[in-house]
Amino acid sequence: MLIYVLGAASVLVPAVLIPVVATRWVPSARESRAADRLRVAVAGLTEALGRTGAALVVLLAGMAAVVTICWPLGEALSRLEPSVDHPVFDYVHARRVDGWADINSFVTAIGDRYPLKWVTVVAAVGFVLVWRRRRWWIPLVALPSQFVVEQYTQQILALTVDRGHPPTDVGTYPSGGCARVLLTFGTIAVLAGLTWNVPRRGRIAIATALAVLVSVEGYTRIYAEKHWLTDVVGGWIFGALLLGVVVLTVLVAEGRVRPPVRSANAAPVELTSTA
């Protein structure tokens, strides 16, 4: 019974949590001093290297930062394997039901590389046609790039955090299925927001749907015995960080990141502190 409750929770928790985060926390983060510093730094890069050069620097630096964060995270999660992963795996394995297992195996395939390749190709072609009178090359480059960036960054982490895999599958840290779903559909959502004037409620609804999809993908990866629980948690964190990098890269290439506008009496935003 608990397994089905957790399945329902994988839908309900993000459906409730994301609107709260989007309403209360995101506006504060957007107006924070750290966000202003980032805008100033990106504006300096853009002035020196142009949009394309600045976007490339942001992408490469962001990938390095994600590896720097997720490498020690993976090592820490590996230590939980005996106390967390094995008990969860044994609990699920002992209570697997064939019909529910078949449903989970079908749903979890959403995160496989093959179907997402086709989603990426179709979306790229569609956005190129819509963007034909503007910087049409951005979606043409962004969508395939997010796929490649996720694959190779995930492989770097899988090699550096050599933690093994469940006895039933070769899935390892971090869960690539969760990250691929988040990267692919998250990039599509951002390009859609840049293409059409989506109202605030619509953006929150899209973010909520994306979070539910990624949460369900994580649940199915565990039930289908493709990943340890901590692989899935790591995949969620890894995917979220990498999506942030890809989104920022797209916004820089599109010229949407501008330095903050301050009043004459406001203190300037400094990139470094003085002694």
Q: Name residues whose C-beta falls within 8 Å of residue 210's C-beta, 6 or more positions apart in sequence.
A: 182, 185, 186, 189
Q: Rounded to whole angstroms, how far apart are CA atoms 186 and 35?
A: 20
User: Alpha-carbon distance 246 to 182, whole Å?
Assistant: 11
In contact, 252 and 51? CB cutoff 8 Å: yes
Give the residue carrying structure tokens 């300037």. Answer: 268
Give pTM, 2 decimals. 0.91
Measure CA 142 to chain center: 14
Tens-binned pLDDT, residue by residue, of the chain (275 aa): 788 899 999 999 999 999 999 998 888 888 888 888 989 999 999 999 999 999 999 999 999 999 999 999 999 999 999 999 999 999 999 999 999 999 999 999 999 999 999 999 999 999 999 988 788 999 999 999 999 999 999 999 999 998 888 998 888 999 999 999 999 999 999 999 999 989 999 999 999 999 999 999 999 999 999 999 999 999 999 999 999 999 999 999 998 888 776 544 444 544 444 43
